[in-house]
Each structure stands twice: as C-alpha cells, then as structure tokens.
Amino acid sequence: MSAVNDLVRYMPITYLTMTDIGLLLGSVGYDGKPNLMTIGWGLVGVIWYKPIFMVAVRISRYTYKLMEESGEFTVNVPSKEMSEACRICGTISGRDADKFEKTGLKWRRGDFVKAPVVEGCPIVYECKVLYKDVVNLQMLPGNMVETIYPKRDAHILYYGEILKIHGEPKSPP
C-alpha cells in the first residue's frame, strides 16, 4: 500500500498523540549524533501529489541546525508509556545532553533516512525535506505574534516527503 493511502489509517492516532503527549521529531547532523525534540504542532497531508509531514522548528533550536545539515527527519509517534520521555525531550537541549541517554529510549537509523527511528513507537514517519519556508511574522495577526513569538524567533516550516511509515496504528495513547 502506498504512503498516501496509509495516511488515512495513521493520521487520527498521530493527531491525537500530538495534542496529548506530543510527537518526537528525530534529526541527525553531520556528526551522526541523533537528537529528539518534542513537537506539538505539525500537519500531515498531500501536496504536490506526495504524502507530506510538515513540522515547525524555531531557528534557535538545536534541531534546526541538524535538519539544515541533513535535510531529513523522522516523526515518531510515542506510546503513552513514553510520556516522561516526551517531557524530557521538550525541556532540555540536545546541545547540552544526549536525550537518548537521559530518557533510556533506544533507536536505529531509518530505512531511507539517517534520522532516528525510536524503538517502541507504534508509528514512525521517515521524511526527506522537499521545501522549507520561514514564517513571515508580518503576515500574522498581531495578537498571535505577541503570544507565540514575543522574541520574534520565527519557525521554519519543513515540508517532508514521507518516504516510509513504520508500524501499525492501534488505539490512541
């Protein structure tokens, strides 16, 4: 079955998990060291006739550096038992600590990307960046800018072509 057809099965659990405990965005840079960042924003769908996972990463984040170096990422949909790992990955920087060591999570390289596939995640998306764009803060309503971007540190939107989806969707966390 194609990745586009699989999206219908995987999207509900992906969105429910994203809004509950978050998703784990996997990245790797030139040095081959993997990193995870918890994300609560993202979009999954079809554009340019391709299955796409769009993620938002602030320029100030360590993940931004890694994604710029590699042009690829994974989105790991964690199980409920990984809630604490999601909290840790959302509060410390990979610049300062090895998040796999801190959380006890295990990983392997993807089949199509070098970014980490986290063991035990019921769903994992492997993605190659097709397009990216900086959020234009001048185009957003002022109250959104003040609330979400008080430091004016905009997100980069990465549109990743989904090359492979691992796993079987089960009930949401």
Q: Where are the domains of the chain?
A: 3-167
Kindly report the backbone phi and psi dihedral angles of residue 74, in degrees, each rounded to the nearest multiple of 5, phi listed first: -125, 150
What is the pLDDT, as a whole number, of residue 1? 46
User: Where would I find the beta strands (DSSP E) of 59-154?
Assistant: 72-77, 107-109, 116-118, 123-134
Give the global pTM. 0.93
Distance, CA of 141 to chain centre: 26
What mean pLDDT, rounded, does the chain reach? 93
Asked if residue 116 lies in contact with residue 108, where contact means CB atoms within 8 angstroms, the answer is yes
Confidence of residue 169 (pLDDT cuts 50, 70, 90): low
Closest CA to 61 of 37, 85, 33: 37
Radius of gyration of the chain (CA): 15
Domain 3-167 CATH assignment equals 2.30.110.10? yes
Closest CA to 159 of 35, 48, 40, 4: 48
Confidence of residue 8 (pLDDT cuts 50, 70, 90): confident
